[in-house]
């Protein structure tokens, strides 16, 4: 492939990611995958898998993982939502804020109830303060002496996998 084609595809890719960040979509929550991941049916029946931006909930096979998923289902399942895309992570997952009833940020509910951590890197101050209030009051997963953050849990699980030769 010549350099002009490479540059063209790079520019198209950058433009695509730039357009995604900041886009607003609306739809109905079809399913909840885990405590911070939703499937949303948007316009033209497109399915969007959305990760809640700025928070990370316990994994399903981790303590409080099922509780976070159940709470997210109660908050969102079959409800109309507005999604503000904030970008993608290094694996290509779409991250967004999700609002129900026009003004309820579901991330705040999960943090207040002690069912989520703020992001491992560059936590948003407005989310961090809500997480800290839950931690200080011993709410949800903060009842544990030393809860394991989901990113640490995932790394531990990866290290335990048998390596092939």
How far apart (Å, rounded) are the C-alpha atoms in residues 66 and 58?
8
Distance CA 140, CA 83 (A): 26
Between 16 and 149, the more confident residue is 149
- What average pLDDT does the chain have? 87
**Beta-sheet pairing, 94-100 with 47-52:** parallel
Q: How confident is the model at residue 164 (pLDDT cuts 50, 70, 90)?
A: low
When pLDDT is averaged across residues 6-24 and rounded to a whole number, the result is: 47
| Mean pLDDT score, 100-108 | 91
pLDDT exceeds 50 at position 7: no
Using DSSP's 3-state secondary structure scheme, residue 95 falls into strand
Confidence label for 90 from pLDDT (cuts 50, 70 and 90): confident
* Residues paired with 49 in a beta bridge: 39
Nearest to 94 by CA among 1, 24, 4: 24
* Residue 33 pLDDT greater than 90, yes or no: yes
The answer to whether the pTM exceeds 0.85 is no
Q: Is the pLDDT of residue 84 over 90?
A: yes
pLDDT tens-digit readout, 52-66: 999 999 999 999 999
The answer on pLDDT for 48 being more than 60 is: yes
Structural domains of the chain sorted by starting position, each given as residue range(s) with its CATH number in brackets: 20-158 (2.40.50.90)
Say which residue, 130 or 89, is predicted with more confidence: 130
Position 159 scores a pLDDT of 87
pLDDT band at 102 (very low <50, low <70, confident <90, very high): confident
In this prediction, residues 107-117 reach a mean pLDDT of 97
pLDDT value at position 158? 87
Identify the DSSP state of 131. H
Tokens linked to 124: 């948003």
């Amino acid at each position: 492939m010549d350099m002009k084609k490479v540059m063209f595809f790079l520019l198209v890719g950058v433009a695509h990611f730039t357009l995604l960040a900041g886009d607003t979509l609306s739809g109905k929550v079809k399913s909840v995958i885990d405590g911070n991941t939703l499937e949303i049916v948007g316009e033209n029946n497109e399915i969007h898998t959305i990760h809640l931006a700025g928070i990370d909930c316990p994994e399903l096979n981790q303590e409080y993982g099922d509780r976070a998923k159940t709470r997210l289902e109660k908050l969102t399942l079959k409800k109309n939502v507005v999604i503000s895309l904030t970008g993608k992570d290094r694996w290509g997952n779409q991250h967004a804020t999700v609002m129900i009833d026009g003004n309820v940020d579901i991330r705040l509910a999960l943090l207040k109830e002690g069912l989520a951590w703020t992001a491992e890197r560059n936590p948003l101050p407005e989310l961090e303060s809500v997480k800290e209030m839950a931690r200080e009051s011993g709410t949800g997963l903060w009842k544990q002496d030393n809860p394991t953050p989901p990113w640490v849990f995932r790394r531990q699980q990866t290290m335990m996998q048998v390596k092939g030769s």
